[in-house]
Amino acid sequence: MTAAVFLGAYIVDIIIGDPRWFPHPVVIIGKFVRFLEDKIRGTSLIDKRKGGIILWFAVVIPVYLITWGAVEGCLFINPLFGTIITVLLASFTLATRSLYDESKIVLNALNRGNMEQARKNLSMIVGRDTRDLDEKEIFRAVIETISENLSDGIIAPMFYLAIGGVPLAMAYKAINTLDSMVGYKNADYRDIGWFSAKMDDMWNWIPARLSGFFIVIASFVLIYNWRDSWKIMRRDGRNHSSPNSGMPEAAAAGALNIQLGGKIQYFGKISHKPTIGNRIKEIDKDDVKKAWFIMLSSSLLMTVVCVTTLWMIQ
């Protein structure tokens, strides 16, 4: 991975994002995961916990090898053509523009007074039940999604792009996809998804903490409450079922003077998550806009660090 390719991938992601007309690699990976999951569930010869391990390796290793082969093959055919393909594939591992676009359509529906459409749009980007959410709960869900996915969808793939190029970043996307599809802690997925969930936790450990750090720095640059961002991240970063998601959520909550967590409904069952942050003010749509600025600023800071590091090494 060169500094120029990394920067090019970031720019392409910001400009075009993930066009719906183009077959996104993550969608293809998702179909492959579902195919293998059905095969493993359909046989009595494999214990489901062992099947979860097989599923992980059967997805991640081929994704790495196929991506490596595609990049190297294109570079062999023509260096310029190979570089263009590398930039495009790298951009597909990033989600800065798509995270902004998908959260914006929720806010747009609320601005039009269409609560039902806002709930429907929100259901496309969160795992919780959305049909009974009020406006403030929708704002909270959007901010939690932005901060959590800043780590999963932006900082983490950038981290793996920098240290291992497109093949490792795409393998990370496969790991993240596996967790989102089979990593649930319910009866249906507890056995087959346990390994995917553990591996996702491991691969996201460093990026989640980098994300929290960059949120604090971005808050300072944006003249938000960076002191509480740092303090709340350290205090409440572990107030989450995930060992990682709480870090960026806590940093964002502190920066915005809001409280995240609390009552959430999944699959018809209400659960009460630990709260994150201090409820200095009620959440409103301006906080969503500030979360966008935090996300974009953090992604830019990570890009500067990675591009500078790659340039110095090369």
d(CA 140, CA 96): 19
Q: Provide mean pLDDT across the span 105-123.
A: 92
**What pLDDT, on a 0 to 100 scale, did the predictor assign at position 272?**
77
**What pLDDT, on a 0 to 100 scale, did the predictor assign at position 268?**
65
Return the structure tokens found at 127: 């795992």
Whether residue 23 has pLDDT greater than 80: no
d(CA 207, CA 166): 17
The helix/strand count (H/E) of the chain reads as 12, 2
pLDDT band at residue 299 using 50, 70 and 90 as cut-offs: very high
Domain ranges of the chain: 3-285+297-313
pLDDT band at residue 267 using 50, 70 and 90 as cut-offs: low
Percent of the chain with pLDDT over 70: 99
Residue 240, SS3 per DSSP: coil
pTM metric for this prediction: 0.94
> ∠ CA 95-97-129 to the nearest 5 degrees?
70
Q: How much is the mean pLDDT over the chain?
A: 92
Answer with the residue of higher pLDDT: 195 or 266.
195
